[in-house]
Amino acid sequence: MAAAFDEMGSGGVVRAPYRTIAEWLAATPPDVFTHKRREAEILFRRIGITFAVYGEGGDPERLIPFDIVPRALGAAEWNFLARGLEQRVRALNAFIHDVYNEREILRAGKVPEALVLRNESFLPAMQGFTVPGKVYTHIAGIDVVRVSENDFYVLEDNCRTPSGVSYMLEGREVMMRLFPDLFARHRVQPVSRYPEALLETLLSVAPPACKGEPTAVLLTPGPYNSAYYEHSFLADEMGIELVEGPDLFVDEDIVYMRTTQGPKRVDVIYRRIDDAFLDPRTFLPDSVLGVPGLMSAYRKGTVTLANAAGAGIADDKAVYIHVPEMVRFYLGEEPILKNVPTWSCSGEGDRAHVLAHLEELVVKDVHGSGGYGMLVGPHASRAERETFAEKIKASPDRYIAQPTLALSTCPTFVEQGVAPRHVDLRPFVLVGREKVTIVPGGLTRVALRDGSLVVNSSQGGGTKDTWVLEG
């Protein structure tokens, strides 16, 4: 694997976005950083941001480690990324609409029909149904990695219920509180408008049946969900009600919310529960998280779900392989952002290649998330690779493989002091009826363990504030 690109610079040359940060790092005593890191932890505990790691003994609630050294992107770098992100999400939305309706891309042979129609993320209940504005993924989290000065790759597309934006927003608040002088020396583009932009996006896709000012709610599985803090935070920031399934009911294909003043009609539901739990009459009959009759109301056009049911077909890791072709097919453009080269283990030739090169590759479950269900070949033992090879042989359709990219590094404050650690970036793309909005920055996740490429919080990763500097 090639040496990682350090975003601050190398060989004694500091890149432009980091010049002031480099001076700050050089001039600040290590004990100040230690004190500020403790202060940041106290602030996060006071705020109450935690996440859950399921399956572990004891109290699973914990803080995600927050690194106090910001990541900086120049205006030109961000503008390039933003153009590529908007292009990609437009193509993904066009794809989701197409596969549930005309299926032109399947008939054209650009995407294998079986990959879509036999996919566990494909929802037959969404067939022949056009959602408002043809927007299916209203909130997309696109994971991007960098390998050189000008090379960015999309690692995966999160089109269902992407999480993490609360860490972006609260991380910025904490940094501004801890280091006001550093902010004063930079022109950092703000992220604080995200909740306002999110609400604007949700209201823009209110169904045609909505008359007057739409009412939006955020539907959560409840306080035992790992992202519950984010659900309550976003609902509060947008000024909308946070509801659970029993707070809603359907009457004559119209969704209502129970209130102390009586039933109130609901027009838009920002749902943070999985498809399978949305409606026990359509999906899992024993679900107590959803709303009986919700899908009937949805298909009648009296309520909008964001993100749409069935949007997960676009973030399947095997479907990911075909996103560049989607851009060409639907938009008639060349992709701005690259895909990571990917082998699908469902194909005999690709599978043979993967099994022969496991020590060099990252292998992922196509439906996995959070860093689970994957093998990082170069860091795995021989026994782990042999065990994973048997999994691939037993269920080849479940796995894809990618080369081990040399993810870029950023200066990070760790126990040994300031040192480079690998990072990725999850920008949040909001797609409304008329426009796409991308708050400048996103959630930078950092692999805090030396040499680790796994940035997921569930696997020991942390987060950073992401600064997009004005030009």
User: What confidence tens digit (pLDDT) does each residue in 160-201 have?
Assistant: 999 999 999 999 999 999 999 999 999 999 999 999 999 999
pLDDT of res. 13: 96
CA 374, 455, 366, 320 dihedral sign is: negative
Q: What is the mean pLDDT of the chain?
A: 93
pLDDT of res. 450: 87
| Average pLDDT value for residue range 209-238 | 94
In a 13 Å sphere around the CA of 442, the CA atoms on its Cβ side amount to 27
Lowest mean pLDDT among 4-13, 50-59, 398-407: 50-59
Token duo for residue 463? 């987060």
Please determine, for residue 51, whether its predicted confidence score (pLDDT) is greater than 90.
Answer: no
* Whole-Å CA distances, 374 to 24, 188, 215, 306, 340: 38, 36, 41, 29, 16
**Please, what are the domains in the chain?**
9-207+303-340+405-468 (no CATH), 208-302 (3.40.50.11290), 347-403 (3.30.1490.270)
| Average pLDDT value for residue range 259-265 | 96
pLDDT of res. 58: 44
User: What confidence tens digit (pLDDT) does each residue in 69-128 have?
Assistant: 999 999 999 999 999 999 999 999 999 999 999 999 999 999 999 999 999 999 999 999
Please determine, for residue 262, whether its predicted confidence score (pLDDT) is greater than 90.
Answer: yes
Q: What is the Cα–Cα distance from 471 to 62, expressed in whole angstroms?
A: 38
Element (H, E) at 409: strand 409-414
The number of beta carbons lying within 10 Å of the beta carbon of residue 469 is 20
Angle at 228 between CA 136 and CA 71, to 5 degrees: 75
The string of DSSP letters for 220-243 reads ---TTSTTHHHHHHHHHHHT-EEE
- 369 — pLDDT class (breaks 50, 70, 90): low
Please determine, for residue 36, whether its predicted confidence score (pLDDT) is greater than 80.
Answer: yes
- 370 — pLDDT class (breaks 50, 70, 90): low
- 1 — pLDDT class (breaks 50, 70, 90): low
pLDDT of res. 57: 47
Give start and end residues of each alpha helix (H) in 48-74.
Answer: none
Please determine, for residue 387, whether its predicted confidence score (pLDDT) is greater than 80.
Answer: yes
User: What confidence tens digit (pLDDT) does each residue in 242-256 have?
Assistant: 999 999 999 999 999
pLDDT of res. 19: 96
Residue 227 or 135, more confident: 135
Please determine, for residue 213, whether its predicted confidence score (pLDDT) is greater than 90.
Answer: yes
Residue 218 makes CB contacts below 8 A (sequence gap 6+) with: 231, 234, 235, 238, 240, 241, 242, 243, 269, 270, 271, 272
- 25 — pLDDT class (breaks 50, 70, 90): very high
Residue 377 makes CB contacts below 8 A (sequence gap 6+) with: 357, 358, 359, 360, 361, 362, 363, 385, 404
Helix (H, G, I), strand (E, B) or coil at 94: helix
The number of beta carbons lying within 10 Å of the beta carbon of residue 387 is 12
End-to-end distance of the chain based on CA atoms, in angstroms? 34
The number of beta carbons lying within 10 Å of the beta carbon of residue 415 is 8
Token duo for residue 209? 């049946």
- 45 — pLDDT class (breaks 50, 70, 90): confident
User: What confidence tens digit (pLDDT) does each residue in 401-440 have?
Assistant: 999 888 999 999 998 889 999 999 999 999 999 999 999 9
- 47 — pLDDT class (breaks 50, 70, 90): confident
pLDDT of res. 60: 53
The fraction of the chain above a pLDDT of 70, given in percent, is 95
| Average pLDDT value for residue range 380-407 | 91
What is the reported pTM? 0.94
Please determine, for residue 216, whether its predicted confidence score (pLDDT) is greater than 80.
Answer: yes
